[in-house]
Amino acid sequence: MQLFMQQLVNGISLGSIYALIALGYTMVYGTIRLINFAHGDIYMVGAFFGYFLVSVLNVNVFLAMLLAGVFCAILGVVIEKVAYKPLRKSTRVAALITAIGVSYFLQNVMIYFLGPEVRAFPSTIPVMPFRVFGIVINMKQVFVFVTTVILMIVLNAIVKHTKMGKAMRAVAVDSEAAELMGIDVNRVISFTFALGSALAGVAGVLVGVYYNSISATMGTTPGLKAFVAAVVGGVGSIPGAMIGGYLIGLLETIVTFMGGSMYKDAAVYALLIVILLIKPSGLFGKNVKEKV
């Protein structure tokens, strides 16, 4: 039982990272119904930007997370303006293919300039393990979890209690009606991309701190799993993305604990299939009837 509880702690740390990335997916989809498959690579860019700040410029890790978030927010807005905005009136398939193209573009640019090899992220947070009821918890796990919780509280406050948050919710319900009411839809969409991309950038630095390694291809698998987390929780639902992230993190660690480390990815996608069969809109998603 003690070993099982230890795996739960590990799963919460991993799930925190998935949840942060999944929030970007769900916010963008909830606002403009676009699955931004480049989101995982924005997270990768954030990790490398944080690596440059910490290893080359000797910047404090907290400031590095903030600056990586700002850099990725700008990158997200640029991608939205250049790649997605011209296709806003086109089919969803065209936008989806563009998102996949942007993902490969970012990944290959990083490989071209920095190489495909794994780089060691500087160990900025001491491990400092301590025991709580016989369970070993280290400072990195606490750091990841606390940072994630704080960011989620801030995000919830922005969406629920600010003027821009109300505008985001209005655009998500009906963008045309929101525009008629005087809301600048383009500004709201850019803000949504900036906010989601900033969270991905912070998640990239957290992964570097937690695992002490980053690579140009690191965004592919976590990006897909974060998308699965968003779908499991209900695409468009912020609480759903959070719960989905933690569910997948816990599922991976439990499967690994039971000796199935080779099948942890399969378990994640099996969970997705089961959830979609039982509740196609996700755990917290709403069934929306489209008018014909």
If pLDDT is split at 50, 70 and 90, which confidence band does 290 have?
very low
Question: 3-state secondary structure string, 248-268?
Answer: HHHHHHHHHHCCCHHHHHHHH
pLDDT at 133 over 50: yes
Task: Output the pLDDT for position 18.
Answer: 92
* pLDDT tens digit sequence for 10-39: 889 889 999 999 988 888 888 888 888 899
Residue 268 lies inside a defined structural domain of this protein: no
Mean pLDDT of the 36-45 span: 92
Nearest CA-CA partner of 150 in 209, 241, 158: 158
Residues 68 and 45: their CA atoms lie apart, in Å, by 9
* pLDDT tens digit sequence for 214-272: 999 999 888 889 989 998 988 778 888 889 999 999 999 999 888 888 888 899 999 99
Side-chain-facing half-sphere of 58: CA atoms under 13 Å: 0
Task: Output the pLDDT for position 91.
Answer: 84
pLDDT at 55 over 50: yes
Residue 255 lies inside a defined structural domain of this protein: no
Residue with tokens 């230890």: 6
Task: Output the pLDDT for position 292.
Answer: 42
Residue 290 lies inside a defined structural domain of this protein: no
pLDDT at 291 over 70: no
Nearest CA-CA partner of 244 in 226, 265, 218, 257: 226
Range of the domain at 87: 2-219
pTM of structure:
0.90
* pLDDT tens digit sequence for 159-212: 888 999 999 989 988 888 988 888 999 999 999 999 999 999 999 999 999 888
Mean pLDDT of the 53-68 span: 92
Count how many domains the chain has.
1
Residue 277 lies inside a defined structural domain of this protein: no
Residue 81 lies inside a defined structural domain of this protein: yes
* pLDDT tens digit sequence for 64-100: 999 999 999 999 999 999 999 998 888 888 888 999 9
Residue 244 lies inside a defined structural domain of this protein: no
Residue 267 lies inside a defined structural domain of this protein: no
